[in-house]
A = this chain, B = another copy of it.
Amino acid sequence: MQRFEAVYEIESPRGIAHAAEVLAGEQSTGTFVRLALETDALRDRSGARIEAVEITGTSGVPALPSRSRGEVYERGRVTISWPEENTGPSLPNLMATVAGNLFELADISALRLTGLTLPEGFALANPGPRFGAEGTHRLAGVEGPLIGTIIKPSVGLSADETAALVGTLAGAGIDFIKDDELQANGRYCPLAQRVDAVMRVLNDHADRTGKKVMYAFNITDEIEAMWRHAEMLEKAGATCAMVSVIPVGLSGLRALRDRCALPIHGHRAGWGLFSRSPHIGIAFPVWQKLWRLAGADHLHVNGIANKFTEPDEVVAEAARAVQAPVCTGGPAHGAMPVFSSGQTVWQMAPSRRVLGNDDFIFCAGGGIMSHPGGPAAGVIALRQAADAAREGVEITEAARAQPELAAALTAFKRPEILL
């Protein structure tokens, strides 16, 4: 029988071994009081099982407010497994099991879900990304990393203003442009008008140059609207649909995946709620598995030396996770990590080094628009940085013969990178 397995970092006033029992019981056959119907046979068949318990330390105070109190709060790591037959390969039910009613347990004063190992049944029954890196590279007509940017200001531009900016960016040779996640289908820039205006520019550009710039239109919305809009995008010749995955949910993303003929650009707006506290949350390598299985082709991972709060090693681990096989067997369902937030030529080599390949999207804003030679020089400099990284040439070395890269290295401050 196949089982899925979750790893939790927990703290408990009653000891890690006891907390593991509570967690396994509460999330499967147990109740606060053992019932007559909870036979040994039933527990053997359907119960969660404690696979490992490791104590890592203690604390004199609880990490989070807790109804249960103790003299000492033990910290550690527990591994719990469940029979796949409890839920079948259903992602929403998997989530309700491994990340359900357990963050509130009174005997647990801190809990982070840090590991998730899934048997191949999940990779076989769920669709995963339709395009992934290979399909995205093909649609964008690019072999290296996709050099991209985000339309700013995030909201407030009209459809025509957006299209004008897109024209500038396309002219600069960019590969990928996306709506900001705040750009919805509002009154001043309705999606239909935006698609019309932007695709007129990008289709014209493609006719002239042979290069179809990939634009990720934010279609985050109700299911029927997303379906309608995905179809609208396809008809307009667009090559990417963006969605904020948390609001639409696992079931929502999967429904879009089933009827969307374009790559799905998965935005993780709201992610900080899951990641910011060391005491409660879900690690990104766990979380991203669910969204990839549901169909995300691209997933945001923040950027190396970003302007938010995640340390570089967390970003590196997140990016690698998005490319790693999603289950222990079956299709790998690899997706494409998207780096963004304060990115310039300086972060290109470290980003590529983290992955060891070019299967990523690299979004820069100021890093393109503020290049002293203008946006075209900004895009060229990033591509030069990517080429140097692929060839293993130091960026300062590569800049000697490449003036755009040299200018970027001077214009943009070298960030401190801790990798």
Partner-B contacts on A (CB < 8 A): 27-33, 35, 37-38, 42-43, 45-47, 64-67, 85-88, 90-93, 95-97, 99-106, 152-157, 161, 165, 181-182, 184-188, 220-226, 244, 246-255, 258, 267, 269-282, 302, 307-310, 342, 365-366, 369-370
Contacts and interface: CB of A to CB of B under 8 A. Distances in A.
Q: Which of A38, A221, A253, A273 has the most CB of B within 10 A?
A: A273
A87 B184 CA distance: 5
Number of copies: 2
A309 B104 contact: yes
A31 B149 CA distance: 13
Contacts of A186: 85-88
Contacts of A46: 153, 155-156, 188
30 contacts: A28-B182, A29-B155, A30-B153, A31-B365, A37-B152, A42-B153, A46-B153, A47-B156, A65-B276, A65-B309, A86-B182, A86-B184, A88-B185, A92-B244, A92-B247, A93-B185, A93-B220, A96-B246, A96-B270, A100-B270, A101-B181, A104-B276, A104-B309, A105-B272, A223-B255, A248-B251, A249-B252, A249-B253, A255-B255, A276-B280
Given A249-B246, A251-B223, A252-B248, A32 B104 contact: no
Contacts of A184: 86-88, 90, 93, 96-97
Contacts of A85: 186-188
A307 B153 contact: no
Nearest to A256: B251
A306 to B, nearest CB: 9
A47 B155 CA distance: 8
A161 B37 contact: yes
A411 B271 CA distance: 46
A273 B278 contact: no
Given A37-B152, A101-B270, A153-B38, A182 B279 contact: no
A220 B92 contact: yes
Contact of A255 (B224, B253, B281, B302): B224
A224 B258 CA distance: 10
Contacts of A104: 271-272, 275-276, 302, 308-310
Contact of A249 (B247, B309, B370): B247
Nearest to A370: B33
Given A37-B152, A155-B86, A247-B95, A223 B66 contact: no
Nearest to A46: B156
Q: Which of A46, A156, A187, A250 has the most CB of B within 10 A?
A: A156
A92 B222 contact: yes
A302 B104 CA distance: 10
Given A103-B270, A104-B310, 8 more contacts: A33-B370, A35-B369, A64-B277, A85-B188, A86-B184, A90-B220, A95-B270, A103-B276
Contacts of A182: 27-28, 86, 96-97, 100
A347 to B, nearest CB: 15
Contacts of A277: 64, 277, 279-280
A141 to B, nearest CB: 28
Q: Which of A100, A270, A281 has the most CB of B within 10 A?
A: A100
A103 B275 CA distance: 9
A97 B220 CA distance: 12
A33 B220 CA distance: 26
Contacts of A30: 153-154
Contacts of A32: 307, 342, 365-366
A173 B101 CA distance: 28
